[in-house]
């Protein structure tokens, strides 16, 4: 019932406010002498009203809004303390563990949907001339696949695993701003609904990048799409802000910056990126929206505007965004490799420096997406060099991973397999990236399937493999149950082979000049595309194994121990799943998280006073 | 053990943070929010120069100067409100907040009036304007519009703060609701300190240039 009242209340007030907004917009328009109804304008105002109504209805009014008027609020922690079972996940709950699961499951669903769209794309491209879907539908499916996967890549690890693990790993009992954390999550459902409705509101024509002038001129669901993405950006910014403050101020006593686990470091840097750059996408889309609904001329060359402005502002976010996607993947890879190699993480300080170096460099490379767009020639050199400089910090992260594996006692459980795959796949993605950073080769490869293969190697091969490493790694902690190792390994090998065949072969039509985003191609490229399609179906099918294993293990898997991996970090020193307050006694940190097999190393964590009956209080000092 | 002795008694976590630490965390969070907002303003600011260089159309310099003075004055009254609150002078704080709201409303009305008398449009060129370069209207209305939206939201928040103050909330030691709103107000002012020259002064005197 709790869940039903939350969701029902949110939907009710949201819809009422939406209609109110439509009316207010119509009223304003007629007051100022315009036609009362303009679909995009009225719906935009309605969307803003509806969004606020949804948030208030879903629980923000009772736990937050009343405060602004000096009224008493409900205790925002009340929901997390009640024994509600699964219903916790369907209500405004400020517990970071609940929000983490909400994010994770939501974005896994989005991932599966967007993956299904990729299957439609591959069906269409299986041979040249095939018309499995119309060109208009193809554009919509392509755009939806793109933006939904970008959303998954930005939010599944950060919002899901990050929310769940970071406060646990630094010894906090919650994020710094718990209510804002819940707000960040509850902004997501309206985004998802709006995105999923866009095929019925006119479809999408611009892909996920929404370049003008098409995005300004198109008669599609562009405005709705813009509003959804701006909302998602807001959620991302607030989430980033929350992580930054949490890592700065919520660390347990003794958790110095030099003792932070790698995953926390990666999330800290990622959070800064989200906080600093997400505005770019939002501002770019606000400009498109203003051009569309207010007749402004930012991108209208005939009136003195410039479509290139969009690309600058857009890539100002969207290049750093790839680091928002990949850095958490690296973080998980180093974390898992550290624990599963049973030896201290190699070059910890250099790896941290590498994360910070990527943070510094990420803001000065965006124009390498625009080499063929008509930017001045003198910009080519600096952006080429800056882009290739990024391989230095990335290389340090690789060296840290390889140095840890070197002479380690590798424990090849599923999380470790996925983490090793991150290193393998990203090496391929990194190498192909060099050809795209170099202006002469980029001019040939721009907008071909080579680019598609490259970024799938980095983002899927790097981050999504990292996401699955993290899911398997923290699955026992999150659910209190163990997954099925055999099925998990089957999933790994199936996905790894499917992925590598699909995207390795995809370079080939790319080099031959096959255009991305186009529903058809010359007949000579049929063989390559047939292979790619068939192995893409195989890749898609591998997730069925995952879904079965995930759901089945969560419902009836064997109970997991508190610390099945014998890991030293904090999240494993509490029960699985952890109690609401995370730690029954305040943890105190005295040692490095990765000092496996170091004689005389201090335990990473001790609890004060020593917990009675708490699991494995020593933190793995003797392992 | 020293670490344990120093922190042993301290409870941890967001649920039971000490008020001093809560305030520190809130302050940093708010500053990061301003930081994040300044990037939105900064991107529009940069776009203005990207599209138009220092070109500008005629704007009413006198009106611009007046609303700028009004907005800067509102920062002084906002500052007075906060210091009064810190000294426990609720009456002065309430009156200063009221004055700030009033000046904010005057500024918003000033911007609205300016929009109504502007000698340029968004969509089409007006008399004497180059029809291939009407993007000034886009830049001007979107920059002042974004800023004015922040002013209006600031006025609403100041109104809520004043209402709560009059109802007996807040005290000398605990008035984060007022401080944060006033910090937001100062931030909105600082944005105008950059936007005013970018929109009114760069071309010098606001004559027809370009």
- Chain B residues close to A300, C-beta within 8 Å: 135
Strand partners, A589: A605
**Those residues with Cβ within 8 angstroms of residue B110's Cβ, 6 or more apart along the chain or in another chain:** B63, B66, B67, B70
Pairwise CB contact (< 8 Å): A309 & B51: yes
* Residue at token pair 């006694």: A585
* Predicted pLDDT of residue A85: 75
* Residue at token pair 């000033």: B110
SS3 A588: strand
Contact criterion met (CB below 8 Å) for A320 and A364 = no
SS3 A583: coil
- What phi, psi does B162 have (nearest 5°)? -65, -45
Of 1.20.210.10, 3.40.50.300, 3.30.70.100, 3.40.50.720, which CATH number belongs to A94-556?
Answer: 1.20.210.10
At residue B189, does pLDDT exceed 60?
A: yes
Residue A100 CA to residue A119 CA, distance in Å, equals: 28
- Chain A residues close to B181, C-beta within 8 Å: none
Of all residues in chain A, the one with the smallest CA distance to B129 is: A303
To probe the interface with A, which of B10, B18, B24, B29 has the most A CB atoms within 10 Å?
B29
- Chain A residues close to B47, C-beta within 8 Å: 287, 298, 309, 313
Of all residues in chain A, the one with the smallest CA distance to B158 is: A68
- Chain A residues close to B138, C-beta within 8 Å: 290, 296-298, 303, 305
**Distance in Å, alpha carbon of B62 to nearest chain A alpha carbon:** 26
Residue A321 CA to residue A273 CA, distance in Å, equals: 7
Query: Is the preceding peptide bond at A577 cis, omega within 30 degrees of 0?
Result: yes
Give the pTM.
0.92
Contact criterion met (CB below 8 Å) for A483 and A556 = no
Lowest mean pLDDT among B4-13, B74-83, B163-172: B4-13
For chain B, say whether A305 makes contact (Cβ under 8 Å).
yes
Average pLDDT of the segment spanning A450-470: 95
* Residue at token pair 């969070």: B29
Q: What is the ipTM of this complex?
A: 0.91
Lowest mean pLDDT among A55-69, A156-170, A429-443: A55-69
**Structure tokens of B7?**
């922190």
Contact criterion met (CB below 8 Å) for A329 and A336 = no
Contact criterion met (CB below 8 Å) for A582 and A167 = yes
**Distance in Å, alpha carbon of A211 to nearest chain B alpha carbon:** 16
Lowest mean pLDDT among A332-336, A583-587, B143-147, B157-161: A583-587
For chain A, say whether B122 makes contact (Cβ under 8 Å).
yes
- Chain A residues close to B43, C-beta within 8 Å: 279-280, 283, 313, 316
Give residue-wise pLDDT tens across range A263-300: 999 999 999 999 999 999 999 999 999 999 988 999 99
* Percent of residues, chain A, with pLDDT higher than 70: 96
Pairwise CB contact (< 8 Å): A298 & B47: yes
For chain A, say whether B160 makes contact (Cβ under 8 Å).
yes
At residue B209, does pLDDT exceed 80?
A: no
For chain A, say whether B18 makes contact (Cβ under 8 Å).
no
Q: Nearest by CB to A305, which of B39, B51, B164?
A: B51
**Those residues with Cβ within 8 angstroms of residue A197's Cβ, 6 or more apart along the chain or in another chain:** A221, A224
Contact criterion met (CB below 8 Å) for B40 and A282 = yes
Contact criterion met (CB below 8 Å) for A93 and A79 = yes
Pairwise CB contact (< 8 Å): B14 & A312: no
pLDDT band of residue B208 (cuts 50, 70, 90) is very low
* Predicted pLDDT of residue A67: 85
For chain A, say whether B1 makes contact (Cβ under 8 Å).
no
For chain B, say whether A588 makes contact (Cβ under 8 Å).
yes
Average pLDDT of the segment spanning A386-413: 93
**Those residues with Cβ within 8 angstroms of residue A620's Cβ, 6 or more apart along the chain or in another chain:** A563, A566, A567, A568, A572, A596, A603, A604
For chain A, say whether B33 makes contact (Cβ under 8 Å).
yes
SS3 B31: helix
CA atoms A209, A210, A213, A218: torsion sign? positive
To probe the interface with B, which of A236, A247, A283 has the most B CB atoms within 10 Å?
A283
Question: What does the domain layout of chain A look like in residue ranges?
Answer: 1-84, 94-556
What single DSSP character describes residue A587?
A: E
For chain B, say whether A65 makes contact (Cβ under 8 Å).
no
Interface size A-B, in CB pairs within 8 Å, comes to: 142
Contact criterion met (CB below 8 Å) for B47 and B139 = yes
- Chain B residues close to A277, C-beta within 8 Å: 39
Q: Nearest by CB to B40, which of A283, A297, A582?
A: A283
DSSP secondary structure, B103-142, as one string: HHHHHHHHHHHHHHH-S--SSS--TTS-TT--HHHHHHHH
At residue B1, does pLDDT exceed 50?
A: no
Residue B189 CA to residue B183 CA, distance in Å, equals: 10
Residue A595 CA to residue A573 CA, distance in Å, equals: 16
**Those residues with Cβ within 8 angstroms of residue A500's Cβ, 6 or more apart along the chain or in another chain:** A425
* Predicted pLDDT of residue A319: 92
Pairwise CB contact (< 8 Å): B122 & A304: no
Taking Cα atoms as reference points, which of A565, A555, A546 lies closest to residue A416?
A565
Residue A242 CA to residue A184 CA, distance in Å, equals: 10
**Distance in Å, alpha carbon of B50 to nearest chain A alpha carbon:** 7
For chain B, say whether A581 makes contact (Cβ under 8 Å).
yes
What single DSSP character describes residue A377?
A: G
Give residue-wise pLDDT tens across range A550-589: 999 999 999 998 999 999 999 999 998 898 889 988 899 9
Report the length, in residues, of chain A: 623
Which secondary-structure segment (H or E) carries A611? none
Pairwise CB contact (< 8 Å): B133 & A303: yes
At residue A543, does pLDDT exceed 50?
A: yes
Taking Cα atoms as reference points, which of A258, A264, A251, A262 lies closest to residue A341?
A262
Q: State the maximum Cα–Cα separation within chain B, in Å, rounded to a whole number.
A: 80
At residue B207, does pLDDT exceed 70?
A: no
Lowest mean pLDDT among A105-109, A239-243, B96-100, B201-205: B201-205
Q: Nearest by CB to B47, which of A252, A279, A309?
A: A309
For chain B, say whether A399 makes contact (Cβ under 8 Å).
no
Average pLDDT of the segment spanning A481-502: 96
* Residue at token pair 């089409």: B124
- For residue A126, with 0-12 CB atoms within 10 Å meaning exposed, 13-18 middle and 19 or more buried, which class applies? middle
**Structure tokens of A353?**
């420096």
* Predicted pLDDT of residue A610: 54
At residue A449, does pLDDT exceed 60?
A: yes
At residue B78, does pLDDT exceed 80?
A: yes
Lowest mean pLDDT among A110-114, A286-290, B118-122: B118-122
Cα–Cα distances (Å) from A268 to A257, B100, B196, in that order, read 11, 38, 36
Pairwise CB contact (< 8 Å): A287 & B47: yes
At residue B12, does pLDDT exceed 90?
A: no
At residue A615, does pLDDT exceed 80?
A: no
More confident residue, A492 or B4: A492
More confident residue, A368 or B4: A368
Residue A554 CA to residue A224 CA, distance in Å, equals: 36
For chain B, say whether A596 makes contact (Cβ under 8 Å).
no
Contact criterion met (CB below 8 Å) for A54 and A20 = no
Pairwise CB contact (< 8 Å): A290 & B138: yes
* Percent of residues, chain A, with pLDDT higher than 90: 76
Pairwise CB contact (< 8 Å): A176 & B14: yes
Residue ranges of domains in chain B, CATH in brackets: 27-201 (1.20.120.80)
DSSP secondary structure, B62-110, as one string: HHHHHHHHHHHHHHHHHHHHHHHHHTT-HHHHHHHHHHHHHHHHHHHHH
For chain A, say whether B8 makes contact (Cβ under 8 Å).
yes
**Structure tokens of B171?**
């005290």
SS3 A589: strand
Nearest 10 degrees: Cα torsion A44, A47, A49, A50: 160
- Chain B residues close to A274, C-beta within 8 Å: none
């Amino acid at each position: 019932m709790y869940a039903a009242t939350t969701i029902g209340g949110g939907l009710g007030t949201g819809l009422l406010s939406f209609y109110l907004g439509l009316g207010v917009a119509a009223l304003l328009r007629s007051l100022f002498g315009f036609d009362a109804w303009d679909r995009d304008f009225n719906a935009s105002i309605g969307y803003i009203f509806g969004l606020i109504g949804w948030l208030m209805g879903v629980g923000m009014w009772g736990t937050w809004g009343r405060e602004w008027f000096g009224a008493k609020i409900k205790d925002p922690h009340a929901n997390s303390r009640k024994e509600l079972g699964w219903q916790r996940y369907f209500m405004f709950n400020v517990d970071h563990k609940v929000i983490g699961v909400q994010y994770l499951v939501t974005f896994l669903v989005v991932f599966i949907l967007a993956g299904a769209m990729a299957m439609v794309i591959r069906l269409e491209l299986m041979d040249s001339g095939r018309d499995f879907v119309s060109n208009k539908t193809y554009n919509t499916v392509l755009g939806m696949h793109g933006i939904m996967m970008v959303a998954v890549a930005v939010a599944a690890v950060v919002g899901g695993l990050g929310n769940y693990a970071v406060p646990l790993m630094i010894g906090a009992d919650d994020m710094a701003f718990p209510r804002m954390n819940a707000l960040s999550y509850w902004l997501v459902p309206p985004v998802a609904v709006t995105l999923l409705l866009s095929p019925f509101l006119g479809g999408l024509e611009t892909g996920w990048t929404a370049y003008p002038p098409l995005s300004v001129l198109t008669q599609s669901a562009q405005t709705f799409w813009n509003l959804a993405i701006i909302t998602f950006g807001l959620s991302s910014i607030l989430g980033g802000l929350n992580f930054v403050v949490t890592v700065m101020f919520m660390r347990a006593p003794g958790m110095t910056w030099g003792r932070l686990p790698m995953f926390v470091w990666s999330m800290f840097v990622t959070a800064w990126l989200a906080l600093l750059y997400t505005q770019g996408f939002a501002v770019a889309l606000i400009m498109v929206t203003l051009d569309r609904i207010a007749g402004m001329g930012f991108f209208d060359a005939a009136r003195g505007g410039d479509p290139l402005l969009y690309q600058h502002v857009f890539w100002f976010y969207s290049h750093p965004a790839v680091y928002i996607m990949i850095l958490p993947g690296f973080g998980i890879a180093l974390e898992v490799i550290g624990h599963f190699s049973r030896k201290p993480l190699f070059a910890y300080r250099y790896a941290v420096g590498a994360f910070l170096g990527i943070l510094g460099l990420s803001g000065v490379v965006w124009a390498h997406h625009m080499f063929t767009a008509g930017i001045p020639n003198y910009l080519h050199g600096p952006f080429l060099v800056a882009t290739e400089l990024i391989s230095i910090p990335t290389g340090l992260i690789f060296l840290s991973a390889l140095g840890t594996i070197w002479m380690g006692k590798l424990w090849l459980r599923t999380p470790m397999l996925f983490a090793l795959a991150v290193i393998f796949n990203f090496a391929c993605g990194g190498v192909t990236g060099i050809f795209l950073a170099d202006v002469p080769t980029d001019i040939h490869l721009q907008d071909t399937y080579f680019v598609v293969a490259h970024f799938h190697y980095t983002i899927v091969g790097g981050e999504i493999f990292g996401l699955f490493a993290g899911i398997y790694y923290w699955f026992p902690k999150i659910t209190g149950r163990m997954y099925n190792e055999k099925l998990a390994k089957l999933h790994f090998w199936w996905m790894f082979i499917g992925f590598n065949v699909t995207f390795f072969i995809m370079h080939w039509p790319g080099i031959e000049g096959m255009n991305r985003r186009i529903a058809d191609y010359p007949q000579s490229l049929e063989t390559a595309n047939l292979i790619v399609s068939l192995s893409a179906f195989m890749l898609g099918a591998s997730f069925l194994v995952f879904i079965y294993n995930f759901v089945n293990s969560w419902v009836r898997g064997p109970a997991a121990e508190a610390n099945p991996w014998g890991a030293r970090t904090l999240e494993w020193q509490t029960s699985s799943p952890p109690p609401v307050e995370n730690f029954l006694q305040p943890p105190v940190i005295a040692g490095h998280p990765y000092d496996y097999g170091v004689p005389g190393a201090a335990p990473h964590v001790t609890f004060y006073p020593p917990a009675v009956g708490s699991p494995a209080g020593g933190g793995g000092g003797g392992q | 053990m020293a670490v344990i002795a120093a922190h042993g008694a301290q409870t941890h976590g967001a649920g039971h943070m000490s008020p001093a630490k809560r305030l520190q965390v809130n302050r940093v969070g708010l500053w990061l929010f301003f930081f994040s907002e300044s990037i939105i303003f900064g991107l529009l600011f940069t776009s203005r120069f990207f599209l138009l260089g220092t070109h500008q159309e005629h704007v009413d310099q006198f009106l611009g100067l007046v609303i700028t003075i009004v907005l800067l004055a509102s920062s002084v009254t906002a500052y007075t409100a906060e210091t009064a609150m810190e000294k426990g002078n609720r009456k002065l704080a309430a009156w200063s907040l009221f004055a700030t709201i009033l000046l904010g409303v005057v500024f918003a009305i000033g911007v609205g009036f300016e929009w109504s008398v502007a000698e340029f449009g968004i969509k089409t060129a007006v008399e004497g304007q180059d029809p291939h370069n009407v993007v000034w209207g886009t830049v001007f209305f979107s920059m002042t519009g974004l800023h004015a939206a922040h002013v209006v939201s600031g006025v609403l928040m100041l109104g809520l703060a004043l209402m709560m103050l009059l109802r007996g909330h807040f005290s000398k030691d605990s008035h984060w609701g007022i401080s944060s709103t006033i910090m937001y107000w100062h931030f909105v002012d600082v944005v105008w300190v950059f936007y005013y020259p970018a929109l009114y002064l760069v071309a010098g005197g606001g004559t027809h240039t370009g």
